[in-house]
Chains A and B, each alone.
Chain A
Amino acid sequence: DAKTTQPPSMDCAEGRAANLPCNHSTISGNEYVYWYRQIHSQGPQYIIHGLKNNETNEMASLIITEDRKSSTLILPHATLRDTAVYYCIVRVGSGNTGKLIFGQGTTLQVKP
């Protein structure tokens, strides 16, 4: 499975957009990009995923570059409750167990 690279930490002001980058330069054509977050003492929470196209849901937007070697998770209006560790993961699309291989993630601190 492809590896991902994320900055270890980021700060964001409350109410502003949080843009979390992820590099996955060795991603294969059938590998999905997944984003999860983990708030202290809870299990990882699914945010969004995509293959080639940009995606948006009620939580966030996912922007994937045309060459698919990097992506950005956008939280449009960050709140204090968005403070968490954010994991960017690539996952094989088919013919596999589909397991997620987590890295160290980005610790996002939303400040008042």
Chain B
Amino acid sequence: GAGVSQSPRYKVAKRGQDVALRCDPISGHVSLFWYQQALGQGPEFLTYFQNEAQLDKSGLPSDRFFAERPEGSVSTLKIQRTQQEDSAVYLCASSLTGAGANVLTFGAGSRLTVL
């Protein structure tokens, strides 16, 4: 596609529910990134994929957060047993490769509200 597509755009969950957020990167982009952005803060890195391989998951805040990209294209970020502190915008970005000269293109984000 022309850009990075994320769904759903808005998700409301009750505390304790599991949620799944989807990211469709730009076609052909090898690298895929997930970020979490709390209200009033800059985006914070969660995890990185190169094709289907998850090469960096150092930013995942707890073992309740899980990300996958099984076929090297679409990625899903799953949050189990959601807590109120998980309320944030979850951003996905893709780039042609992971090299520093390649631009990251971001999606519009998925806004998660945990009640």
Cβ–Cβ contact A43 & B45, under 8 A:
no
A-B contact count (CB 8 A): 70
Which range holds the interface residue count of chain B? 20 to 34
Cβ–Cβ contact B104 & A46, under 8 A:
yes
B98 in the interface, Cβ–Cβ < 8 Å? yes
Give Cα distance in the complex from A42 to B108, angstroms: 5
CB contacts (< 8 Å) of A44 on chain B: these are 43, 91, 93, 106
A68 in the interface, Cβ–Cβ < 8 Å? no
CB contacts (< 8 Å) of B31 on chain A: these are 97-98
Cβ–Cβ contact B33 & A99, under 8 A:
yes
CB contacts (< 8 Å) of B104 on chain A: these are 46, 98, 100
Q: Which of B64-114 contact A (CB under 8 A)?
A: 91, 93, 95, 97-109
CB contacts (< 8 Å) of B91 on chain A: these are 43-44
Which range holds the interface residue count of chain A? 20 to 34
Give Cα distance in the complex from A49 to B101, angstroms: 8
Q: Which of A47-87 contact B (CB under 8 A)?
A: 49, 51, 85, 87
What are 11 sample pairs from A and B whose C-beta atoms fall under 8 A apart?
Answer: A42-B108, A43-B106, A49-B103, A85-B42, A94-B99, A94-B100, A97-B31, A97-B56, A98-B31, A100-B93, A103-B42
